[in-house]
Every structure is written in C-alpha cells, then in structure tokens.
Amino acid sequence: MNKKIALVTGITGQDGAYLADLLLSKGYEVHGIKRRSSLFNTDRIDHIYHDPHDEDQRFVLHYGDLSDSTNLIRIIQQVQPDEIYNLGAMSHVKVSFDTPEYTANADGIGTLRILEAVRLLNLTKKTKIYQASTSELYGLVQAVPQSETTPFYPRSPYAVAKLYAYWITVNYREAYNMFACNGILFNHESPLRGETFVTRKITRAVAKIAMKLQGKLFLGNLDAQRDWGHAKDYVEAMYLILQQEVAEDFVIATGVTTTVREFVRLAFAEVGIEVEFKGTGENEKGFVVKCNNPDFQLEAGTEVVSVDSKYFRPTEVELLIGDPTKSNEKLGWKPKYDLQALVKEMVAADLELFQREKLLKDSGYKIKNQFE
Ligand code: NDP
Ligand code: GDR
C-alpha cells in the first residue's frame, strides 16, 4: 500500500508537534506549513526535522500562512494530501480581544480557504479534513457536561471565529460531500504548551519560584474551571476522527473539571510546597504553608501568588466540562493521562528547563526575565 500523505497547518505549535510525531510513527509522509518569522520558530519540531539535502524526506516544511489563499492552493496542489489537519490559528483567547480582525481572518476565513482549496483542486474525494474546533464554542454555560449537542455561546473574538470555522466545515461536508470533521477539543496541555497559557505559566513559575529565580506568580481569574487533558492523548483522537467510515464531529475531553486555583496548588505540591489561598477576587493571594523539600527553602508565609486584574477577560468562560461518551464509544478513545500525571510531567520538565538558568545565575551571569 502507498504511504499516506498528511498536511498539517500549525505544525510548529504544541499540537502540530505531537501530531507530527504520531503520524510519522504510523508511516505517514508529513508536510507542515510554517510561518516566516524573524526568529527560528521550529523548536518543538527540530527533533524530527532533517537537513533538506538528506535523501529520506518523510517530513517536509513549507512556508505559508492561513491568510494567503494562493499560497494554500499551491501547497495543497503540490502535496496532494490524503489528510489535512487544520491546526493553525491565533489560539490565545485573551489576545483575540486585542487582535479580533486578524483572529477572524486566520481562524475563521483561514478554514474556509483550506476547504475551498480542496474543492477547487478537485480533491474532495481524496482529501479528508480535520478542523481544530474548541470547547470555547460553548462559552457561557448552557448545560453541563458539554456534548456534541450542547448549544454554542461563544464569548471571545477567538471563539466567534472558531464558530464560523466549525459551521463552514459542517457546511462543506453537507454541500459537497466532503470528508470534513470537527474535533471539539477541550483544553489540553503538555510540556510543549505555549508559555502564556495558564497551566504552563503556572508550572514555569512554580519551577522558578522554587529555585528562587522568580518571586511571585501573577494570575487572573482563579475560579475558572477547565477540563484539562494531555496533548499527546488528544492528537490520537484527531487521527482517529479521520480514520472513521463516516465524517462526524466529536467532543474530546476527560470529563473532569478543575479550578485554576487547584491547578496552582497541585503544581506547587509537586515540588513539595504547600500553598493556601486567602482573600477574595482581586485581593486573593497564595501563601506558602510549609516547604517539605530541603532543596527549596521557602519560608512559611511567603506570598507566592497574587491576582492581577489585567489578566481578567472582558467576557469569561467560567466552566468547561466535556462529555466524551461519543468519542469513547465510536472512536474507542480514552485518555491515558489524568490531571495528576499531566501536572507531574509539566512541572518536571520546567524544573529541568530552569536548572540550566539557575546554574548560570549561580555562576554570576545575568538572567533575562520573561513575565506574562
Ligand atoms: P499553538 O498556539 O501552540 O499553535 C498554533 C499554531 O498555528 C502555530 O504553529 C502557529 O505558528 C500557527 N499559526 C498561527 N497563526 C497562523 C497563520 N495565520 N497561518 C498559519 N499558521 C498560523 O496552538 P495549539 O497547538 O495548542 O492548538 C492547535 C489548534 O487547536 C489551534 O487551532 C487551537 O485554536 C486549537 N485548540 C487548541 C486547544 C488546546 O487546548 N491546546 C483546545 C481546542 C482547540 P507560530 O508557531 O509561527 O506561531
Ligand atoms: P483558554 O486557556 O482560554 O481556556 O483557551 P488559558 O490557559 O489561556 O486560560 C484558561 C483559564 O485560566 C484563566 N486564567 C488565566 N489564563 C491565562 N492565559 N493567564 C493567566 O494569567 C490566567 N489567570 C487565570 C483564564 O481566564 C481562563 O479562564 C485554551 C486555548 O488553547 C484555546 O486555543 C483553546 O481553544 C481552549 O483552551 C480550549
């Protein structure tokens, strides 16, 4: 049998990196679209990137952008993919309030450009399309747990753009009989998670605070509840969705929800630091109760978390908890990671990352701080 060819937009992102690993392990030829950047932006996929002069090219990168139709048409025509995974997006909910028009263009119309390119190139029978839809579509709580039939009520320019992408995918499936599916994925994290999403911001800060490279962690809404899974599990679901006989949409979630506050506690507990919260709203703070790890000497009473209202969103999504019954039953998908294992892996990775920084600091080098 000929090997399958996949094209992945957003290959340089968290999910793109895990998905590329998975598809290569299954024998696929993987093509990815990366954006031109003034700095190298391939950190997450450098381990699978080969020198383009090498013979065996099972992993190929193309320059491109979801805002550029002709570029997408040219790449799809050249690659002739069996499967397209559209993961590229301006994916930060808070930032979408600052860049609403760009977000609509990349996340909303970008999806249309992919679907249209496949249609115009007469690839509708050959090419299957996965659209990275999101639990942010549910927004203001209508019912919980959220399933494939729960009504949407998006609460950010990002979610509204993704709502367009969701429905245009459904419309092209129905209008042109295309194999186009939405994976409605709830939050998924990993050591590769972008540094400004809340889980990674927390695990990085925990490692740095424990090593005395940072004093305090500033956060926004600690009451928000999210259904957090591991990205490695979730890219398997993406793959499975495109291997079905019939094109359908699926919710991918763990079914367990946790507050941001509890995630903070769990992450500090991983390094042996007990934290308790006092106060409410903008005045809430987190303090060290006890440090059980002799490597990290933090005194009881040290303030390690503080709320900063600049991280509040104009409209918030308070509660997400997914119902993965359909994906459990039809895809046979079940996550291997629970929250505890996810937090453990993320904190361990960030401890290792900042060990090097600590060595440099202890040797007298100046460390550049990055706060978000
Ligand atoms: P990331 O933010 O880590 O990655 C986004 C990717 O999209 C990056 O490769 C980025 O490139 C690329 N990108 C951004 N804008 C454009 C553009 N205009 N044209 C082409 N590529 C672009 O996101 P994740 O990997 O976490 O998420 C993958 C997808 O899944 C996204 O669409 C996201 O909205 C969606 N999603 C994510 C969930 C999650 O919890 N992670 C849950 C549900 C949905 P660069 O590296 O250059 O910035
Ligand atoms: P989310 O993820 O908006 O759910 O979107 P994020 O981690 O940014 O926020 C989760 C919740 O934490 C609260 N929060 C903070 N968030 C950030 N980023 N920084 C903070 O300091 C902070 N303090 C509290 C937020 O208000 C929110 O309630 C992610 C993205 O990956 C989307 O692309 C994806 O579609 C959804 O998950 C599912």
328 Rama sector, left if φ>0, alpha if ψ -120 to 50, beta otherwise: alpha
pLDDT, residue 283, reads 96
Q: Which ligand 2 atom is at minimum distance from the Cα of 308? A: 21
Domain boundaries, the chain: 5-185, 198-225+259-319+338-362
In contact, 128 and 180? CB cutoff 8 Å: yes
pLDDT single digits (tens) 104-146: 999 999 999 999 999 999 999 999 999 999 999 999 999 999 9
Q: Indicate if ligand 1 lies below 6 Å from the C-beta of 187.
A: yes
Is pLDDT at 370 greater than 70 in this prediction?
A: no
Is pLDDT at 369 greater than 90 in this prediction?
A: no
How much of the chain, in percent, has pLDDT values that exceed 70? 98
Give the residue-averaged pLDDT of 193-213: 97
Question: Residue 24 — pLDDT band, cuts 50, 70, 90?
Answer: very high
Residue nearest ligand 1's atom 3 by CA: 13
Is 356 or 322 the better-scoring residue by pLDDT? Answer: 322
Q: Indicate if ligand 1 lies below 6 Å from the C-beta of 9.
A: yes
Is pLDDT at 372 greater than 70 in this prediction?
A: no
- Strand 285-291 with 273-278, pairing: antiparallel
Give the residue-averaged pLDDT of 135-162: 98
pLDDT, residue 2, reads 77
pLDDT single digits (tens) 332-344: 999 999 999 999 9
Is pLDDT at 371 greater than 70 in this prediction?
A: no
Probe target for ligand 1 pocket from 11, 12, 15, with the most ligand atoms within 8 Å of CB: 15
Residue nearest ligand 2's atom 23 by CA: 220
pLDDT, residue 366, reads 79
- Distance from the alpha carbon of residue 260 to the mean position of ligand 2, in angstroms: 9
Is pLDDT at 57 greater than 90 in this prediction?
A: no
pLDDT, residue 365, reads 86
Give the residue-averaged pLDDT of 19-24: 98
**5-185 has which CATH code?**
3.40.50.720
Task: Give the DSSP letter of residue 368.
Answer: P
Residue nearest ligand 2's atom 32 by CA: 91
- Measured from the alpha carbon of residue 38, the closest ligand is 1
Probe target for ligand 1 pocket from 37, 71, 91, with the most ligand atoms within 8 Å of CB: 91
Give the residue-averaged pLDDT of 51-79: 92
**198-225+259-319+338-362 has which CATH code?**
3.90.25.10
- Measured from the alpha carbon of residue 201, the closest ligand is 2
The rounded distance, in Å, linking the Cα atoms of 365 and 274 is: 31
- Distance from the alpha carbon of residue 220 to the mean position of ligand 2, in angstroms: 10
Q: What residues are annotated to the active site?
A: 134, 136, 158
Is pLDDT at 150 greater than 70 in this prediction?
A: yes
- Measured from the alpha carbon of residue 10, the closest ligand is 1
Is pLDDT at 368 greater than 90 in this prediction?
A: no
Give the residue-averaged pLDDT of 24-46: 96
Residues whose CB falls within 8 Å of the CB of residue 117, separated by 6 or more in sequence, listed in order:
69, 72, 73, 76
Q: Indicate if ligand 2 lies below 6 Å from the C-beta of 226.
A: yes
Give the residue-averaged pLDDT of 84-107: 98
3-state secondary structure of 146: strand
- Distance from the alpha carbon of residue 365 to the mean position of ligand 1, in angstroms: 34
pLDDT, residue 56, reads 72
The rounded distance, in Å, linking the Cα atoms of 365 and 337 is: 38
Q: Indicate if ligand 1 lies below 6 Å from the C-beta of 76.
A: no
In contact, 84 and 7? CB cutoff 8 Å: yes
Return phi, psi of residue 327, to 5°.
-70, -35
